Amino acid sequence: MKHLGAASIGGLAAKRFFIEDIYPSVDGGRFPAKRIVGEPVDVWADIFRDGHEVSAAELRWRRQDASAWASVAMRHHGNDRWVGSFTPDQPGLYVYVIAAWTDEYATWRRDFLVKRAAGEAGALDAVEGAVLLSAVRAAEPEAEATIARQCDEFVRTSNPDTLLTDNLAAAMARCGPRRDVTQSPALPLVVDRALARAGAWYEMVPRSQGTVPGRHGTFDDCIARLPDVAAMGFDVVYFTPIHPIGHTNRKGRNNAVRAGPGDPGSLYAIGSEVGGHDAVHPELGTLDDFRRLVAACRDHGLELALDYAVQCSPDHPWLAAHPEWFKRRPDGSIRYAENPPKRYEDIVNPDFHGAHAEALWPALRDIVLFWAREGVRIFRVDNPHTKPFPFWEWLIREVKREFPDTIFLSEAFTRPKVMKALAKLGFSQSYTYFTWRTGKDELQAYLSEITAYPEREFFRPNFFVTTPDILPFQLQRGEPWIFKARLALAATLSGAYGIYNGFELLEHTPIPGREEYLDSEKYEIRVRDWNAPGNIKDCIAWINRARRAHPALLQTANLHFAQVDDPQVIGFVKEAHDHASAVAVAVALAKEPRQFWFHLAEIEVGPQDARKRIVAVENIATGERQAVQHGGLRLRIDPERDPALILRCLVQP
């Protein structure tokens, strides 16, 4: 109670309202919740005060860089829960607050009507109401005119009915005095464009997009590949680093410590005598060529994402210009990157701490701003968990201040709480453990975790099936059905998903005993026949068409796992963000043909106030309709042909 003694009695007496359990908020407002531009932001809170007076509340919001607040009245929903909503029309950082006050006119009106019904309302009671009206100086001319007219009418007639009209009540609700106003703390909200929640990503290694063996690919080669990527239905084409590669300690094929003649080096050993993170590798082309690439992506309905890796080759210009930005060992030698027992002799990491941070942090921010000004609005960030958390919170806010539509993908395969912390700090999307979740129970448990409250407010998953670093064990047999099944799981469970180039060709040769590709193109140039026999490009295109046609597949949170009486089939129902449509999905987790019962009896879909049972489904591949009978569906999957069923849900009109 010590804090009460520090306040004046007058100050304590003025605190009439409690505003509690505000939604949405993350860690009590320490971090922003995430929403999508153009969609309503539903807000609620428990609001109450002592006594029996009538309360009122409003929701106020603004962009963080704006000075004026917009507002809307909140509605009492029951049990002291108040609700309101607003729809942000631009991406960016927002704040919102809730204000509550005592509505003196509404209190008087309620009490007068009760007294009159009991035969106890007197002339003085009516005069008290008129006094409330006479004190109002409304900011709205129409409301002020209504209030003045009704007040004058009462003075002329002494008829209390003139003080009780509905139009007067509406005018006073907008403009009446607000006693005991209490405001909640300001809560942050980040509003992104729709691509931050849902998109199909295609990861491409630019230098491997050529057609001549042994020749380095160019931006023109990448442009030539765009029609193929667009035809498969992808939204984002994501490039591994495009910057100059260092010579010192250059890695050879399969991460050999020494490079052989002609070895191009690791993509992530960034920087040479020709430039650093704000330069392009000369063999890829020029900055003008890159600009043509960005325009070509736009022409094909694709958006370009770049890799942002905060690490340098020993030849990076920063080592000569700013040696204080890098750590040295006791003997004066540079400290190379390492993750014992692994060593990365071709990479050095900046030191984020110390007095030089005042110059280093803005330099790292300016790299992102440089590429944003070149038209890039999506950045996949390499290993952000190995850099200071405050740095990312600062950098993302700095970039979004100038480019509020920027999307950041966190590539952090690390401990769950660290991954979630990075999402809270501002990353728009996050890599996940999907790659290692293969069984039905563990898939359901993991999705239930990341779609529950509060994770769904800040953690947006991106289910990458493969990456240049990860060739999962389950794909190493090269069986087409498992490639298709993992694709279907990623693309239907998560609003955002991605594949690494070569997945469509069923590339699956590993380093023995490891989840890594043999002859990885991180260290060499590959040339492929992108139309090689046996490819699954048609399957990928079909999945992406299904996603675009059915909004339920373009989000992650509205997910309900169904009971399926086969341990090797996973089934679920997903609803669109606005609950206007739903799909049911079944995916086989084993190779053999399967017949199973898909339970739907306990699942309802539709708006919150009009939930309905599913009465039939329509197979979106064949158009075949099937009625729900006895609370479910009898279905069959032949994984060798197609391991996934996607069914449009139909409800009773």
The catalytic site residues sit at: 382, 411
Q: What is the spatial distance between Cα 645 and Cα 564, in angstroms, rounded to a whole number?
A: 13
For the stretch 151-174, what's the b/e string if a residue is b when 16 or more beta carbons lie within 10 angstroms of its beta carbon? bebbeeeeebebbbeeebbebbee
Which residues fall within 8 angstroms of residue 304, CB to CB, at 6 or more apart? 236, 237, 238, 239, 293, 294, 297, 375, 376, 378
Indicate the helix (H) or strand (E) that contains 573.
strand 569-575
Distance from chain centroid for Cα 373? 23
Q: What is the spatial distance between Cα 38 and Cα 195, in angstroms, rounded to a whole number?
A: 13
DSSP 421: H
**Distance of CA 184 to CAs 27, 67, 347, 651, Å?**
15, 18, 48, 41
What sign for the dihedral angle of Cα 529, 531, 532, 538?
Answer: positive
Q: What is the spatial distance between Cα 425 and Cα 558, in angstroms, rounded to a whole number?
A: 24
CB atoms within 10 A of CB 278: 15
Task: Tell me the helix, strand and coil percentages in the chain, rounded to 5.
Answer: 30, 30, 40
Q: Which residue has the tokens 């392009």?
A: 280
Strand partners, 183: 99
Q: What is the spatial distance between Cα 487 and Cα 507, in angstroms, rounded to a whole number?
A: 14
Q: Which two tokens stand for residue 267?
A: 């993509």
Q: What is the spatial distance between Cα 482 and Cα 636, in angstroms, rounded to a whole number?
A: 17
